Structure 1
Amino acid sequence: MNKPIQDAYIVAAARLPIGKRNGYYKTTRPDDMLVHAIRTVLGQAPALDPALIDDIVAGCALPEAEQGLNVARMAAMVAGLPHSVPGVQVNRFCSSGLQAVAMAADRIRLGDADVMIGCGTETMSMVTMLGNKVVINPSIFEGNDNLGVAFGMGITAEKVAERWQVAREDQDAFAAGSNQKAIAAIREGKFKAETAPFTVKTRVPDPATGEVRLVERVVVDDEGPRADATPEKLAQMKPVFAAKGSVTAGNSSQMSDGAGAVLLVSEKILKQFDLQPLGRFVSYSVRGVPPEIMGIGPVEAIPDALRKAGLQKSDLEWIELNEAFAAQALAVMRSCELDPARVNPLGGAIALGHPLGATGAIKVATLLHGLRREKMKYGMVSMCIGHGMGAAGIFEAL
């Protein structure tokens, strides 16, 4: 007998301050970052028995080395959760964290689970951009349709900029705005509710004594935003992917380290433990596009997510659109006719950073806390995905 679809409620969402590659977290393991995110969301629902967690779904874009071996299960054990709590690692590149939240929500919506954690973690300091060994199936290049799989992400951004006619000046202005909004958000404390300060521990040799000292530092704010980023300064930067291109380090997302987690429950658990929901999971979509223009992926996913939600674009009051590159973000905004005032009001990945598999979960936390603070109702998280895909998830604040 078919079960009716039930609602999945989010009762806690948190993230670590995002660190620059080889910055805050250069010696911090990604599973330790994930442990902190998981402990934080569970701490925000203290009445809930952790033994009731049906599963932990963790996104990670490069699941190898320190973030391999099923980082979800590893984090569950390090966090001291009961051995009955399982974990699974998922990879959909840049949307891995959002995919994890959607998969966790679907288990609840189908009546297969009552308590789930959707999360993500990524260290771009310890694991290189393409991983330690890249071996693409050569058959994929038989013909011309899939050659874009071999393009670097920067080249796909150049192709989007060219096809959608996104000028260099517009890209630099957008990137400067991202930094300015992020700096203002930090100064005004708008990230405080979602951010879990993290204690970074570093062992430093002391030549005077011959001993190794343990140095601790509590990081509170995101490391990436640049207060001096202006269109004029960004205009001085040279293209890095094509000699006559327009995509620079200044108008691209930063390589970063970070983690985020979202605690989801069924209505039964909500009532049983008298939990106050932050929001409700509404819909999710992922769609494919040609790999050489992967940055335009959200253009296909956004309308599908809206259709599934039964909503109009005008219903979305807050949109967290991942800024992989200013070129692709602007192309998506123009193609979907998104209101710039509703997109990334606190800045995006160009300023704050993009820790790949963690980004989706991080943005869900930013979105839900932002919607509630501003007394808004519906919001969306969306991003482009490597190999030619786009994802979009819609949430309702409660």
Structure 2
Amino acid sequence: MKQVQDAYIVAATRSPIGKSHRGFFRNTRPDDLLVKVLQSALAQVPGLDANAIEDVVCGCAIPEGQQGLNIARIGAVLAGLPVSVGGITVNRFCASGLSAIQMAADRIRVGEADVMIAAGVESMSMVPMMGNAPSMSPAMFGNDENIGIAYGMGLTAEKVANQWKVSREAQDAFAVESHRRALAAQAAGEFAAEITPIEVIDRAPNLDTGEVIEKKRVVSLDEGARADTSLEGLAKLKTVFAARGSVTAGNSSQTSDGAGALILVCEKALKQYGLTPLARFVSFAAKGVPPQFMGIGPIEAIPVALRNAGLTLSDIDWIELNEAFAAQSLAVVNTLGLDPAKVNPMGGAIALGHPLGATGAIRAATVIHALQRKQLKYGMVSMCIGMGQGAAGIFERV
């Protein structure tokens, strides 16, 4: 790709992350969540002419049901954007939101657009992880080389734990630390700048009167972090995916609901609309790995993203490494030699949740605001991806 101009992020926000099925967004439609974060992002740049927006690129890992029918276009229309603004939904599973940012940035970087919106959304409460009617190709089961594509994510985590020698004790300790960091960040108000509070309406019947009672509340914090998480408690949990394994519900990411949105512009638009950039999009990489070891994807993607940026690991000040499982996170950290202090300083998906296609946009909002708050220079978002991929994106505070 021949770059002709830089892409700058001028707004980055996200919803709180809710627990799927029993959390505060269990009855909230994903398109409604997307609308809220789109409107919030636009409100952060009041000088921007919405007619200048070229397209909305939205990541969604399971784009069907309530989040089907091109949710990007639906969200754009319902958010009140001009009808001239397009919308495209993209799917790279857990990296869908990050790929949406990359695609939006690339449109700007090659000179095809001046203003773009990138987003991600997922309701794991309303749309199950495999979709409503999964149908896998029989070719997946024809030989051992392909069957890894059909493995459940938990089984791939077990295979990574075994191959990369990650113990149950190390996984549980990693999970405890994720919760500790998340709770400390919440108590310090460190998520406030990136989160758009969302009003939730709970409805319940009054059986005596036949009326439907509505209760409204505003949620402004992720609900997954637990103060009662301990090594002793996690050690009691049974393994989920293998009888003699080490992966449990406690050292795995939480299934979740959430959304995030970013607005990207070129330098000309910065000047034209009087906008202040938060960060510059620097580079992106996606690489494939053996599907049965999908969790190691960042091991391959991160070095390529660094090379594309002309940077080294020592240049990166903040790393948002999606905690799909403690097993794969530790395999990545140990293999690449990542500094644990720089990895998920405010906790990760084990504590905060992982709404699949939204995670890339959510974690990008986290790193962009962290760079501003801490006055750091470079941040990175990376994750493993189901069926054997890894992705990484790098941002620079400006």
TM-score range, shorter chain: over 0.9
Name 1:384's counterpart in structure 2: 384
CA distance in 1, matches of 2:279, 2:351: 26
Per the alignment, residue 240 of structure 1 pairs with 240
Q: In the superposition, relative to structure 1, how do residues 248 and 3 fare at CA in structure 2: closer, same or farther (>3 Å)?
A: closer
Shift of 1:52: 1.1
- 8 Å Cα contact 1:280/1:397 also seen in 2: yes
1:139 Cα deviation after fit: 1.9
Q: Which amino acid aligns with 1:333?
A: V
Aligned to 2:17: 18
Q: State whether structure 2 residue 216 is matched by structure 1 residue 216.
A: yes
Distance 1:119 1:4, change over 3 A: closer
Task: Report SS of the residue matched to 1:396.
Answer: strand
Report the 3-state secondary structure (helix = DSSP H, G, I; strand = E; otherwise coil) of the residue aligned with 1:11: strand
1:310-349 to structure 2, matched below 5 A, reads: 310-349=310-349
1:111 aligns with 2:147: no
Contact 1:146 1:290 survives alignment (8 Å): no
Hey, what does 2:6 align to over in structure 1?
7
Contact conserved, 1:8 with 1:265, CA < 8 A, in 2? yes
Q: Distance in 2 between matches of 1:156 and 1:5?
A: 40
Change over 3 Å in CA distance of 1:294–1:82 after alignment to 2: same
Instruction: Using the TM superposition, give the Cα deviation of residue 3 of structure 1 relative to its aligned residue in structure 2, in angstroms.
Output: 7.2
After TM superposition, list the pairs within 5 Å mapping 1:1-398 onto structure 2. 4-22=3-21, 23-398=23-398
Does the CA-based 8 Å contact 1:3-1:111 persist in structure 2?
no
Counterpart Cα distance in 2 of 1:200 and 1:20: 14
2 CA distance for matches of 1:387 and 1:265? Answer: 33
Superposition deviation, residue 81 in structure 1? 1.2
TM-score using structure 1 length: 0.98
Once the 2 structures are TM-superposed, how far is the Cα of residue 202 of structure 1 from its aligned partner? Answer: 2.5
Give 1:317 shift.
Answer: 0.5
Give the aligned residue type for 2:342.
R
Is residue 285–residue 304 contact of structure 1 (8 Å, CA) maintained in 2? yes
Q: Where does the alignment leave 5 or more consecutive residues of structure 1 unmatched?
A: none
* Distance across 2 between alignment mates of 1:264 and 1:150: 36
Amino acid of the structure 2 residue aligned with 1:350: I
Q: CA deviation at 1:203?
A: 2.5
CA distance in 1, matches of 2:332, 2:3: 35
SS in 2 for 1:341: coil
Cα separation, 2, equivalents of 1:26 and 1:208: 26
- Aligned residues of 2:185 and 2:346 also touching (Cα < 8 A): yes
Q: Is 1:298–1:390's contact at 8 Å kept on the other side of the alignment? A: yes
Q: Note if contact 1:280-1:395 (Cα within 8 Å) is conserved in structure 2.
A: yes
8 Å CA contact retained: 2:139, 2:146: no
- Report if aligned partners of 1:15, 1:362 keep a CA contact under 8 Å in 2: yes
The amino acid of 1:70's aligned partner reads N
Within 1, Cα distance between the matches of 2:211 and 2:136? Answer: 46
Aligned-partner SS, 1:147 = helix
- Look up the SS of the partner of 2:251 in the other structure: coil
Displacement of 1:379 after TM fit? 0.7
Any idea what SS the aligned residue of 2:179 has?
Answer: helix
How much has 1:4 moved relative to structure 2? 4.9
The one-letter amino acid paired with 2:47 is A
Deviations 1:101-157 (A, max 9, x none): 110000000000011011000000001111111111112333211111111100000
1:345 to partner: Cα distance: 0.0
- 2:358 maps to a residue whose letter is A
Q: Which amino acid aligns with 2:347?
A: G
After TM superposition, give the deviation of residue 205 of structure 1 in Å: 1.7
Q: Deviations over 1:232-261 (max 9, x none)?
A: 211111101001100000000000000000
- Amino acid in the other structure paired with 2:314: S
SS at the partner of 1:250?
A: helix
Shift, 1:207, TM fit: 2.4
Partner Cα separation in structure 1 for residue 113 and residue 272 of structure 2:
15
Letter in 2 for 1:392: A
In structure 1, C-alpha distance between the alignment counterparts of 2:213 and 2:239, rounded to whole Å: 42
8 Å CA contact 1:253–1:353 kept in 2: the answer is yes
Identity of aligned residues (%): 62
- The verdict on how the C-alpha distance between 1:33 and 1:239 changes in structure 2, with shifts beyond 3 A counting, is same
Query: Matched residue of 1:54: which SS?
Result: strand
Comparing 137-146 with 64-73, greater Cα deviation is found at: 137-146
How far apart are the structure 2 equivalents of 1:96 and 1:353? 16
- 1:118 counterpart letter in structure 2: A
- Unaligned 5+ runs, structure 2: none
User: Number of matched residues?
Assistant: 397
Shift of residue 49, structure 1, vs aligned partner: 1.3
**Are 2:49 and 2:273, in contact at CA under 8 Å, matched by a contact in 1?**
no
Superimposed CA distance per residue, residues 146-188 of structure 1 (whole angstroms, 9 cap, x where no aligned partner) = 1111111000000000000001100000000000000000000
The amino acid of 2:97's aligned partner reads G
Letter in 2 for 1:338: L
TM-score by length of 2: 0.98
Output one character per residue of 1:38-61: Cα deviation in whole Å (capped at 9) or x when no partner. 001100001101111100000000
Deviations 1:324-357 (A, max 9, x none): 0000000000111000000000000000000000
> Which secondary structure state, in structure 2, belongs to the residue aligned with residue 342 of structure 1?
coil
CA RMSD of aligned residues (A): 1.0
